[in-house]
Amino acid sequence: MNQSGEANSYLYLFLEPIREFLEDDEVSEVLVNGPDQVYVERHGRLQETPVKFVSEPALRAAAGNVAKSVGRMLTDEQPRLDARLPDGSRVHAVIPPLARCGTVIAIRKFKKEKLSMASLIEFGSLSADCAELLSTIVKVHKNVMVSGATSSGKTSVLNVLSEAIPGDERILVLEDASELQLQQPHTVYFETRRPDKNGKGEVSIRDLLHSSLRLRPDRLVIGEIRGGEALDLLQALNTGHAGSMSTIHANNPLDCLYRIETCALLSGFDIPLTALRSQVASAIDAVVHTARLPDGSRKITHISEVLELENGNYRLRHLRRFVNRGRDGDGKMTGEFVGGGELPGFFEDARTFGFPLREEIFRQG
């Protein structure tokens, strides 16, 4: 057994009641809502289990031991835990009195098999035409935001997009908790740090972003944009760091741009809205939107190009989108990926870079 496996076995001792789910490859997420309620996610659907912890003190002790084992603290002074296990699985915990039902733990499990464009096509998450378009967008150094709701597959899609980055580029990866696994040899990973018990020593995504710009990146890959670091990212993208990518929570591609705008306003700088929107529209070239459908499946529903502002408002050109056709006899969502009827503004750029796109990809569906 490797060191990661040994470390996980040690940690699983603290979480013995849910160990079977942590070792079950079909379970993608484990949700503990206090000592008496445990849910798991299988194939995109939540299921309640009969599993219970002995008591709230036992559950809280287990969460505290997990925190200590990965060098974090979970105390009355720091009642929230954001960490990752040795195998890459992500853990978040909140203890009472913040959590009224008792200690709450969410474990998003690390996938042993790495997703690829080919596997997403096989799963029906995107089409071959979409894969060709996405690969080209990355190869011609367009800045990409992957948007979607919680658990819609944003990080997985970001990982897949990174496949198309050439192996001779220097990539800096910035995350709150390391999840991304890029295959390129010249990849440097950074991770944020929470403050200590005295409130000191915090290193945020914004701090890492400042450092990364002095470390000669060819591309920046940021796990998720949540706050004022959005403004720093916009400035970086508008000053020569083309081909960078990140994720953000949003309900649709247009909402993605408004979310970036809102996060940038949290930077503390007083920026005229028109100037900020101009920066957003100039910095972001494409939005890749993900969604979890009612049947639990995850799909890339939109690949959209960001256009110039019109009367101060954002505009998008949907290059490919998923059209829902309802459910089949087994209750699974059916549909197809269709073109938007217009060529992207970077169509000729792709040819110049040596990655010509087929016009039929964009034909009206």
Summarised one tens digit per residue, pLDDT across range 177-217 is 777 888 899 999 998 887 777 778 889 999 999 999 899 99
The per-residue DSSP string of 134-145 comes to HHHHHHTT--EE
Are residues 142 and 36 part of one domain?
no
Pairing of strands 90-94, 104-108: antiparallel
The per-residue DSSP string of 6-70 comes to HHHHHHHHHTGGGHHHHT-TTEEEEEEESTT-EEEEETTEEEEES---S-HHHHHHHHHHHHHHT
What's the pLDDT score for residue 9?
63
Are residues 157 and 71 part of one domain?
no
What's the pLDDT score for residue 327?
85
pLDDT digits (tens, 9 = 90+) for 112-133: 667 889 999 998 899 999 999 9
What's the pLDDT score for residue 146?
97
pLDDT digits (tens, 9 = 90+) for 322-361: 999 888 877 788 899 999 999 999 999 899 989 999 999 9
Pairing of strands 187-191, 171-175: parallel
What's the pLDDT score for residue 6?
55
Decide which of 91, 108, 125 is a domain's last residue.
108
If you count them, how many residues does the chain have? Answer: 365
CA distance 362 to 356: 13
Are residues 189 and 95 part of one domain?
no
| pLDDT(5) > 80 | no
Are residues 121 and 101 part of one domain?
no
Q: How confident is the model at residue 240 (pLDDT cuts 50, 70, 90)?
A: confident
Q: Which two tokens stand for residue 178?
A: 């390391």
Q: Which of 8, 64, 62, 72 is nearest to 35 (CA)?
A: 62
pLDDT digits (tens, 9 = 90+) for 39-63: 999 988 899 999 999 999 999 999 9
What's the pLDDT score for residue 77?
87
Q: Which two tokens stand for residue 102?
A: 């008792």
Mean pLDDT score across all residues of the chain: 90
Block residue for tokens 């959005």 = 230
CATH of the domain at 242: 3.40.50.300
* DSSP, res 356: P
| pLDDT(15) > 90 | no
In the chain, pLDDT over 70 holds for what percent of residues?
A: 96
Are residues 13 and 91 part of one domain?
yes
Are residues 199 and 161 part of one domain?
yes
User: Which residues is 93 bridged to in the sheet?
Assistant: 81, 105
Are residues 79 and 141 part of one domain?
no
Map residue 279 onto helix, strand or coil. Answer: helix
Decide which of 81, 108, 135 is a domain's last residue.
108
CATH of the domain at 8: 3.30.450.90
Are residues 251 and 197 part of one domain?
yes
CB atoms inside a 10 Å sphere around CB 67: 21
Those residues whose C-beta lies under 8 Å from the C-beta of residue 311, and which sit 6 or more positions away, are none
Block residue for tokens 């096989």 = 122
Q: Which two tokens stand for residue 86?
A: 């040795």
For the entire predicted model, the pTM comes to 0.84
What's the pLDDT score for residue 1?
46
Q: Which two tokens stand for residue 273?
A: 């809205």
Are residues 138 and 94 part of one domain?
no
Are residues 85 and 130 part of one domain?
no
CB atoms inside a 10 Å sphere around CB 31: 19
Q: How confident is the model at residue 7 (pLDDT cuts 50, 70, 90)?
A: low
Q: What is the largest CA-CA distance in the chain?
A: 64
Give the chain's domain count.
2
Are residues 307 and 259 part of one domain?
yes
CA distance 79 to 94: 6
What's the pLDDT score for residue 86?
75
Are residues 232 and 138 part of one domain?
yes
The per-residue DSSP string of 106-162 comes to EEEPPPSSPP-HHHHHHHTSS-HHHHHHHHHHHHTT--EEEEESTTSSHHHHHHHHG
| pLDDT(225) > 80 | yes
Domain containing 19 equals: 3-108
In the chain, pLDDT over 90 holds for what percent of residues?
A: 66
Q: Which two tokens stand for residue 350?
A: 């792709």
How confident is the model over 290-303, as a mean pLDDT?
Answer: 92
